[in-house]
Structure 1
Amino acid sequence: MRLRAVSLAALIAVIAPATPGLAQTAAAPTAVTAAQAAELRAAPVAELVSEVNIPWKRFTLDNGLTVIVHEDRKAPVVALSVWYNVGSKDEPAGSTGFAHLFEHLMFGGSENAPGSYLGRMRNLGPSNLNGTTWFDRTNYFETVPTPALEQALFLESDRMGYLLGEVGQDVLDLQRGVVQNEKRQGDNQPYGLFEYAQLEALFPEGHPYRHSTIGSMADLDAASLETVRNWFRENYGPNNAIVVLSGDIDEATARPLMQKYFGRIARGPVNTPAEADVPTLAAPIVATMHDRVANTRLTRSWAVPGLLSDDAVPLSVAASVLGGLASSRLDNQLVRDEQTAVGVSSSLSDFHRIGIFDISVDVKPGQDAAEVGRRLDAIVADFIAHGPTEEEVARVATRYVSGRIQSLEQVNGKANVLAEGQLYAGDPDHYKKELAEYASVTPAEVTAAMQRWLTRPVFDMTIAPGEREAYAEAAPSGATPAPAAEIQRVARDPMPTIGQVPDLQFPDVERVTLSNGVKVVYAQVDTVPVTRVAVEFDAGYAADRANRLGAQAMMLDLLDEGTTSRDANQLAQEEERLGASINLGATMDRTSADLSTVTANLTPSLTLLADVVRNPAFAPAQIERIRAQRLSGLASERTNPGAIAARALPPLLYGENNPYGRSFTGSGDDATLTALTRADLVAEHDAWVRPDNATIFVVSDLPLSQVTPQLEAAFGDWRAPPTPKGTKTFAAAIPATTSRIVLIDRPQSPQSLIYGGAVLPVSGTDDLLALNAANVTLGSDFLSRINADLRETKGWSYGVRGGVNALEHRVPYIVNAPVQANRTGESVAALIAQYDRFLTADGVTPQELERTINGNTRSLAGGFETSAQILGALRSNALYGRPDDYQATLASRTRALTAAQMDEAARQAIHPNQFVWVVVGDASVVRPQLEALGLPLEVRPAQ
């Protein structure tokens, strides 16, 4: 039940109403014992396992294509998931990264559907649209409205059987550049180079898993067009693929459709997945690498058996007990008790042939890393020798089964489970075997698996603060490409049209008021036996006073670090025992406590949620521990390009006196965190986390009549403290801005992060439908003007986005553009040019209008498929003052929009001459490029 770090992408986008955070009235700290709180009773894990079932039908076309169909009529959508039996482990020497490169090439269009695949798919209104590559497989997936399924099948089959005529040298060169920028983006993160060292240490030369999926710059540079085409011919035939259709479809409908669109594709060579033994190191490897990081990180790694091994589940359980649970051994001993670490983790990454067992410890600043390492090894050795308890194993099993149930709410989630089982085990029901193993695994089996595999020599890597070792960059372009044979195209029948997509049927919204006046907003969704609850407070990071930045976040951190009846470990154990998840956090506008749980355990889960919200202990020892973690987190933010930008831009846009003029991370500053007292934190809780400032949002498979008594029991007797409720004021004037650049020097950065924008003359409570629709063309879509330019035309970035970030009050427009370092200045100039052109003479075209309206309306059913999506809609409607039927009216309102209305909305709100650009990059490389732009330039250190 630890505070979940908001993803960096979410911090940078500041996409409004998330939720997370809570509190309660605080009592004086008291000693907490197990006897003070009755243990909450959970449903037996066997009962949960019985809830998991995905009926399916399977057939095979004459060309060897395996098709699996799962019927689920809850919404008029179908998930189409295509899995190819090829991944990076199948790449020969000199061709690393080819599987992933082809993932990109297959989005570039095909012979009978030229141009961007994503552009064509956007017109279908998909959700969950993407492709991924990993060691063992490549998959492509999209969830589309049922009337759009035939066109989706045409497009997927065209890139399976009729692709290469569209893969020319220009396409290869472009996507090679995009992939290399994806690699730079990952490498540019703190600790971003560890994976390469880990794989090279654990696996010998020639081992299929020795190289990363992203590949090497040199191999990507050397890829010739004919070599790349041959890679496709050898691996992407229908007999090496699985197609899963999950959702509003049945086998009788699927058979003729699959035969029509895929049946004529010729078989290809059979790809037998590369065999791979589990290697054992001859002796322990102890190594140190340096990176521009704030904390020393200690890692321990072993190669272990793969996901079909009898030891896979026992080793996964071991990893969870050791460092994966919130109540893990490493958390309790190194973080909570000894306080020598600020973060720990342990996990099993299980692949087809092998797995990797990982342990990671971030050393607390000021501690002796070598001594912490010795203590880590002692804890691990003791755990291997004696194993977990039965209760620990049971908590892991419950958490796993609960997570699996919740993941199956989306039809795409079920499609992935079936495809994975078929691909690796030849059995779509393989997930049932895994569930049974989790439900029956014993401590003795876990201990025996650890003793078999974790007593072997370890890879012991320390990542210490310092300058990075040399970084291998891409070679300069300019070599003459080798000629490739011309592809003979094969014509097909015309692409089918899309039928009429029905408008969204949003569930009815109901309301009730608890006896203490707390409002409850509710919707029933009975797809899976899961209940989601958000207790939301009108607070957020904007509630921090200017001299108390970070107080809200630190207060939230402490809520699950002990209540007046349960300590932090008890809270974590109860959560795990129930298979529940309680997350605390905040956005700029709201603070919330979020619960997701299997409905069978709703009553005890609500009891736990209420205890966390209402009764925090704020024990002095825990305050000091969390303070140290928060200060360490601040230091880490200063090494992360996204966090550096997210801290720098808001005060430049809003001014330091505005509640929005502080870091989007909400983490505050060193001086505030150092000075915060227990009284300050109690006051913060009393001011904001209280029933007269709360709304409860619920989505459940139970009717409201059954949920209300349980909410009443948990929260109905909650009373507000006598102190005044907190208030936020946005009276401070927002400063006028003019275009300028603030360069933050981050040496050794292979990429620069361009992060810029301005405050718009609109608020989140305004009607932003036309503005957001216009921005689909300008900044938010894959085919937006700025992404099409910097990624799809120039190949300088892995992805660029400009967004209207809907805060409750005045909203910012923010551009997020990570670009290769040597193109930073040109990229800023290109962004400015694109905005100027769109906002003056070149607005939304008829084709862009059609694509936007179709995409925005046809995607609604998939966009509100799950209880989590419905819950988010209830909360955003409340935040922005929208009516309950807002989502149900989106389709008709969007279809009524014109290009002129979109253009006008954008031109009234967005003014590029007011943009302030923050650039995080290596000043020695970037500064001359930025100076050449002629804009005012300020250079700051990363600190």
Structure 2
Amino acid sequence: MRIGTRASLGALAAALLVTSLAQQPLAARDRSEASAPAATPGAATPEELVAKVDIPFESFQLENGLTTIVHTDRKAPIVGVTAYYKVGSKNEPRGRTGFAHLYEHLFFGGSANVPNFDIPLEAAGSTPTNGSTWYDRTNYVETVPTGALDLALFMESDRMGYLLPAVSQEKLDQQRGVVQNEKRQGDNQPYGLEDYVISEGLLPVGHPYRHSTIGSMADLDAASLTDVRAWFTDHYGPNNVVLVLSGDIDAKTARPMVQKWFGAIPRGPAIHPVTAGAVTLEKSASRDITDQVPVLRLTRTWTGPGLNDPDAPALEIGMHILGGLASSRLDNALVRGQELAVGVTAGAQTYEAMSQLSMAMMVKPGVERAKAEAAFDAVLATYLKEGPSKDELKRAVVSTLSNEIGALERVGGFAGKGATLAEGMVYSGDPAFYKTRLEAMAALTPEKVRAVLAKWLSRPVFKLATVPGERTLDGGALGGWGDEDTTPAPAPDDKAPAPELAPAPERTAPPLGTIGDLAFPTLEHATLSNGVPVTLARRTAVPKLQLTIEFDAGTSADALDTPGTQALMLDMLDEGANGLDATQLAEAQERIGASIQTGASTDASVLNLVALSDNLAPSLDLAAGILLHPTFAPEDVARLKATRQAELSQALSSPNSLAQRTLGAALYGTHPYAQPSDGLGDAASLAALTPQDLKAAHAKWLRPDLARITVVGDVTMAELKPLLERAFGGWTAPATPAPVKHLDAATPQARARILLVDRPNSPQSVIMAGRVLPMDGTAKNGEALDLANDVLGGGFLSRLNADIREDKGWSYGVNSGVTKNEGPRALLVRAPVQADRTGDAIAAIRADMAALPGEKPVTAEELQRVTEGAIRGLPNQFETNAAVDGAIRMNQRLGRPEDYYATLAQTYRGIDAADIGKAAQAYLQPDELTFVVVGDRTVVEPQLESLGLPIEVMPAPSTATDSE
């Protein structure tokens, strides 16, 4: 994947503290059937929800074996193009690990008739244009305006049939460097080496799922041009591909287009089936590793059956009940009940031929390890003995179905309707397999789930403990076949020039057709009896809606309170409210397929409700109770503070978070925006917060005269307003004046410097740079600056990324951005780079910034891409309810007119290269940038000394909180 790879379930590690730790309700409750509540009146049944998950399609196959599936959805003038190649890392032999993923990167480097894959598509308005690799497949996605579909098919077909003439040694070397930096980036994270160790513990050498998708450094180094050409020839024929077109297209129109562009590509060799089933260990095994992590993490993992096994639905739902639900067995017992953990999770990561079944526990600091281990294993033993209750089963199924319905908002992308149809065909031979799977889930019984869990989780287990300490494993040596010490890998072909290839046929790109304009939803307005304004954008693509209550607060409000107050107060809302404890609140949401989340950005605090339209009334009742009547029980506050302390330790051990926190404080000084954007405050401030402090903050900030409500989705104003009035109409503002944040406070004088945070044993340095700009978010005519940033670092084709990632291969991705706060905006640059290129990367960043617009003014190609490309891509940006909701709230927060996005195309067309250059000259120069570098001082500091900037060195904060 070119942006954000390695999403594996073993990455339960990094995800745990940003997902499971956000769900900390109250005390464990009786799970007997006698205590199970009655069904929620009016709530849709699982069977009714399954009936709403429907993706009609037609399909056809060309003579060369290319299978095409077409789904028609006319909601917007866009088409998702999704191509699934039936080759992944499980197809790689010894000595060739990482090849499938490396080739995915090469696929974007141009083909015989397409010099660059990204430039024409981005200029045509494609969003996103990306690809990813996993064990079972490689996929490529782009969502394009309907008028650009012909161009997209031409380009996809050219790289499918005529890629090799464009794959040079130079391109191979560049992308090899990018992939290796992607590996370093993943390895550099806390718990980032667990995936490798779990695979080694579960699977024998040679098992197709044992080696990592990203491969080993040694195999990537050895890959020759001859090797990668052979890989393409053996695997990338059209007969090994499923193409899905979803959106503003029909099969009658699609078939001649697909025939025109793909029909002449010859059939390739069939990919040989891979035998790769579940493995049962002879006996349970355990392993400890030490790493630079904040808390002890315990993991239990088994292999399980593949996607098409009849046990797979029961395992997915059963593991969801164990540790995926907000009210999961593990949460109730270990986080809320015995308070031995600060986070837990469990899940089934299902592949085509096998699965990984995992449960994990982040042990609360101060808890004896043996006690934690015993309690962790006891939860599983009890669960396997008694199985789930009917209520648990229904909640798990309904919440899963609700998520599936939400995914249907997108026609393309990695998780939309196109990917759903493609995966069904690739893995199961049936594009509608999603429906078979969901129907099987809806038909499950508690006894069926219990029996399947007992069958698979009673087998020997692999136990891993990641212990805080010094990192002793070398991630660069991990990820390969596994027997390199005893069995030499096949010698790769030498890197002599590969044989000349026959020239590809000349093909000409088609012109763009008519590109439809953005049709931003019509907004309706109302005001509740208590004065709270309501904005509705009705959209009926899926039977769901998103409701957001936004308050003028956010993390910057902590400048008037204790640091960390706002986020902790918001997190406490669903820890107990309106007579219900946290478990009851979580269960009530799960029964009706609702999700209620709270959080804070820099400027705003929000309560967000995602609900099924059929279940809106009970969903609003829950949301109102959580918002208006939180309990703030002292025991819950104490527990959640411990969890937040663990999250803070996690943030301080993550190089990205540490860089961000360091830079924010340096740029903003005593301004409200200096508060850590993660909302965690610091250890001392968290420790000092009391239930009374949180109650006071709730009364101070979450009041109707600071609130507005935005709703996007399948509901009318006539239906919505009475329900809102019933839920929130009686909510009144206190007599005290509303608080006012001082966003006009002064910020420190910007100055050029480097702040080096010493983080030993870091294979990669995280560079962040920034300065506060002399403008705030409400400034008019900021679009030229936004476009200038797009040229500099705002996308994959930006100058910074093209230079440091694509040309030099020092990073997996470099980007820049200009914040859109209400108060002073800031320019930010982020560049994770290989450690030995830290100084060179800073020099390159400064040079690239200084060259715009002086030495290298904006080119015609760049101007077209960031203006016309952005205009053409506008319809793609608002495919989901969440995207529309965010746009409406951004307009309100920054004082923009309601028709801002409807008129944005006209605004862009009025901006020329000179305007972009002026904005770059005024705001995007490298002078006075503060650079933060989080990396190994012994490696990095000598490189920085030649840059001529003052260097301040500081140690990384201590984060280890060992269990006893």
Q: Is the 8 A contact 1:86 1:273 kept in 2?
A: no
Q: CA 1:474–1:797 in 2, change beyond 3 Å: closer, same or farther? A: farther
2:662 to 645, 648, 662: 648
More moved, 543-552 vs 664-673: 543-552
**CA offsets per residue over residues 411-469 of structure 1, 9 Å max, x none?**
11111110000001110110110110111111111111111111110000000001112
Question: How far 1:839 moved relative to its partner?
Answer: 4.2
**2:617 alignment partner in structure 1:** 603
2:793 to 773, 776, 779: 779
Give the whole-Å Cα distance in 2 for the aligned partners of 1:345 and 1:718: 36
Q: 1:421 and 2:434 equivalent?
A: no
Contact 2:756/2:933, CA 8 A, preserved across alignment: yes
1:752 maps to: 765
SS, match of residue 914 in structure 1: coil
Identify which range, 127-136 or 252-261, moves more after superposition: 127-136
Alpha carbons 1:89, 1:136 under 8 Å: kept? yes
Q: Could you tell me whether the CA contact under 8 Å between 2:37 and 2:391 is conserved in 1?
A: no
Q: State the alpha-carbon separation in 1 of the partners of residues 582 and 856 from structure 2.
A: 57
Q: How does 1:26-65 map to 2 (within 5 A)?
A: 40-41=40-41, 42-65=43-66
- Cα drift, residue 209 of structure 1: 0.4
Could you say if the C-alpha distance between residues 843 and 314 of structure 1 is closer, same or farther in structure 2, counting changes exceeding 3 Å?
A: same
2-structure distance, mates of 1:546, 1:661? 12
| Residues 877 and 884, structure 1, Cα contact 8 Å, conserved in 2 | yes
Whether the aligned pair in 1 keeps the contact of 2:80 and 2:142 (CA below 8 Å) is yes
Q: Considering only aligned residues, what root-mean-square deviation do their CA atoms show, in Å?
A: 1.9
Give distance in 1, aligned partners of 2:883 and 2:683.
Answer: 36
Structure 2 CA distance for aligned equivalents of residues 32 and 587 of structure 1: 37
Match of 1:886 in 2: 900
* Amino acid in structure 1 at the alignment position of 2:645: L
The 3-state SS of whatever aligns with 1:877 is: helix
Q: Aligned with 2:453: secondary structure? A: helix
Contact (CA 8 Å) 1:32, 1:564: kept in 2 or not?
A: no
Give distance in 2, aligned partners of 1:565 and 1:676. 23
Does structure 1 retain, via aligned residues, the 8 Å contact 2:559–2:675? no
- Any conservation in 2 of the 1:36–1:566 contact (CA below 8 Å)? no
Distance 2:762 2:930 in 1: 21
Quote the residue 1:352 is aligned against: 352
1:909 shift after superposition: 2.1
Letter in 2 for 1:326: A
Alpha-carbon contact 1:537-1:688 (below 8 Å) kept:
yes
- Listed one character per residue, the Cα deviations across residues 463-508 of structure 1 (whole Å, up to 9, x for unaligned) are 0001112415489xxx982321112221233110112312211111
1:732 and 2:733 matched: no
Match of 1:925 in 2: 939
Q: Determine which of 690, 702, 706 is the counterpart of 1:693.
A: 706
Equivalent position of 2:524 in the other structure: 510
**Deviation larger for 764-773 or 393-402:** 764-773
How far apart are the structure 2 equivalents of 1:69 and 1:760?
Answer: 48
Give 1:362's aligned amino acid.
M
Tell me the distance in 2 between the aligned counterparts of 1:889 and 1:453. Answer: 57
Contact 2:558/2:675 (CA < 8 Å) preserved in 1?
no
Separation in 2 of the partners of 1:505 and 1:127? 17
Tell me, in whole angstroms, the C-alpha distance in 1 between the residues paired with 2:325 and 2:36. 23
What pairs with 1:273-292 in structure 2 (closer than 5 Å)?
273-292=273-292
1: CA distance between counterparts of 2:549 and 2:37? 22
Q: Deviations over 1:95-125 (max 9, x none)?
A: 00000000000010111001x3112221111
For 2:188, the aligned partner's letter is: N
Show the counterpart of 1:138. 138
Cα contact 1:37–1:566 (8 A) shared by 2: no
Deviation, 1:232, is 0.6
- Contact 1:32/1:567 (8 A) holds in 2: no
What is the distance in 1 between the residues matched to 2:385 and 2:640?
32
Aligned to 1:72: 73
SS of 1:917's equivalent?
strand
Aligned AA (1:769): E
Tell which has more relative contact order, 1 or 2 (C-alpha 8 A, sep 6+).
Answer: 1
Question: In structure 2, what is the equivalent of residue 100 of structure 1?
Answer: 101
Q: Secondary structure at the match of 1:258?
A: helix
User: Superposed, which structure 2 residues align to 1:815-830 within 5 Å?
Assistant: 815-830=829-844
Q: Are the aligned partners of 1:760 and 1:910 in contact in 2 as well (CA < 8 Å)?
A: no
Deviation at 1:401, TM superposition (A): 0.8
Q: Provide closer, same or farther for how the CA distance between residues 474 and 857 of structure 1 changes in structure 2, counting only shifts above 3 A.
A: farther
1:330-345 to 2 correspondences below 5 Å: 330-345=330-345
Q: 2:676 aligns with which of 663, 674, 697?
A: 663
Counterpart of 1:243 in structure 2 is 243
Q: Partner amino acid for 1:844? A: V
Asked if structure 2 preserves the Cα contact closer than 8 Å seen for 1:37 and 1:565, the reply is no
1:746-781 Cα offsets, whole Å, 9 max, x none, are 111000000011011111112311111111111112
Q: Which amino acid aligns with 2:422?
A: A
Q: Which amino acid aligns with 1:549?
A: P
What's the secondary structure of 2:709's corresponding residue?
A: strand
Deviation readout 1:24-60 (Å, 9 max, x if unpaired): xxxxx9x999999997432111111111111100100
1:872-927 CA-partner distances (Å, limit 9, x unpaired): 11111111111111111111211221000111122122331110000000111101
Q: What residue in structure 1 maps to residue 434 of structure 2? A: 431
Contact 2:66 2:239 (8 Å CA) reproduced: yes
Alpha-carbon separation, structure 1, partners of 2:63 and 2:496: 37
Q: Which runs of 5+ in 2 are unaligned?
A: 1-6, 8-21, 479-492, 958-964
Provide the residue aligned with 1:148 in structure 2: 148
2:323 aligned partner, one-letter code: G
What are the Cα deviations for residues 774-830 of structure 1, in whole angstroms up to 9, with x where unaligned? 111111121111111100100000000011111111111100100000000000000
Q: Which residue matches 1:497?
A: 511
Following superposition, the deviation at residue 701 of structure 1 comes to: 1.5
- Take 2:49 and 2:269, find their aligned partners in 1: how far apart are those partners? 43
Partner of 1:113: 114
Classify the secondary structure of the residue corresponding to 2:246.
strand
Q: CA deviation at 1:687?
A: 0.7
Q: Deviations over 1:53-90 (max 9, x none)?
A: 11100100000000000111111000000000000001
Deviation at 1:224, TM superposition (A): 1.0
SS in 2 for 1:544: helix
Question: Contact conserved, 1:69 with 1:244, CA < 8 A, in 2?
Answer: yes
SS in 1 for 2:359: strand
Other-structure match for 1:457: 460
For the pair 1:903 / 2:904, whether they are aligned, the reply is no
- Residue matched to 1:260: 260
Shift of 1:560: 0.4
Q: How does 1:699-710 map to 2 (within 5 A)?
A: 699-710=712-723
Which TM-score applies when normalising by structure 2?
Answer: 0.93
Matches within 5 A, 1:471-870: 471-473=474-476, 481-545=495-559, 548-655=562-669, 657-766=670-779, 767-870=781-884
Unaligned runs of 5+ in 1: 1-6, 8-21, 23-28
**Secondary structure of the equivalent of 1:660?**
helix
Number of aligned residue pairs: give it.
911
Alpha-carbon distance in 2 for matches of 1:377, 1:482 = 56
Further displaced range: 260-269 or 721-730 = 721-730
Show the counterpart of 2:324. 324
**Amino acid aligned to 2:109:** G
Distance in 1 separating the partners of 2:475 and 2:536: 54
Take 1:865 and 1:473, find their aligned partners in 2: how far apart are those partners?
40
2:483 corresponding residue in structure 1: none
| Partner-residue secondary structure (3-state), 2:343 | strand
Cα distance in 1 for partners of 2:613, 2:743 equals: 41
* Cα displacement string for residues 541-589 of structure 1 (whole angstroms, at most 9, x for unaligned residues): 0000266110001101100000131100000000100111111101000
Rounded Cα–Cα distance in structure 2 between residues aligned with 1:293 and 1:113: 45
- Indicate the SS of the match to 1:512: strand
Q: Give the Cα separation in 2 of the matches to 1:904 and 1:815.
A: 19
Of 190-199 and 496-505, the range deviating more from structure 2: 496-505
- TM-score w.r.t. structure 1 length? 0.95
SS in 2 for 1:113: coil
CA shift for structure 1 position 843 = 2.2
Q: Distance in 2 between matches of 1:488 and 1:929?
A: 46
- Where 1:932 maps in the other structure, the secondary structure is helix
Identity %: 49
1:35–1:90 CA distance, 2 compared to 1 (3 A): closer
